[in-house]
Amino acid sequence: MKTEDIKALLPYADPFLFVDEILHIDENRVKGTYTFNAESGFYKGHFKGNPVTPGVLLIEAMAQIGLVCLGIYILNKNFNKKYTIALTSTECDFIKPVYPGEKVTVVSEKMYFRFGKLKCKTIMTNEAGEEVCRGTIAGMIT
């Protein structure tokens, strides 16, 4: 599957789509990027005079690239049906801020996929290659 094929199957649209490109994907790993739009309205109030990307949106980008895209790839490759994955749990550590206009890269490795549940170890880095957050993310087939 190509990036555009996977993106077309995502249950998201702008302004809540946090996937620009998939650089690599196979049954065990995905690597993708997203650039946070500096004009997004949430930056006006988070934080006043010193905007940073809210952690919940960092998790969302990690989940969309690292869980949902990988899940769509696995499910459609193995079962040839239009399934998707919905987020069920996260445990993330935030290390550095992500600023407006910053491009991030998400790398996610499958920990397991069984009984309809996918769990992944996920890392987000900035353009300098510095880790900005990491964690485990899980979801179920929908």
Catalytic (active-site) positions: 46
Residue 15 burial class via C-beta count within 10 angstroms: exposed 0-12, middle 13-18, buried 19 and up: exposed
In 10 A of CB 16, how many CB atoms? 11
In 10 A of CB 83, how many CB atoms? 16
In 10 A of CB 39, how many CB atoms? 10
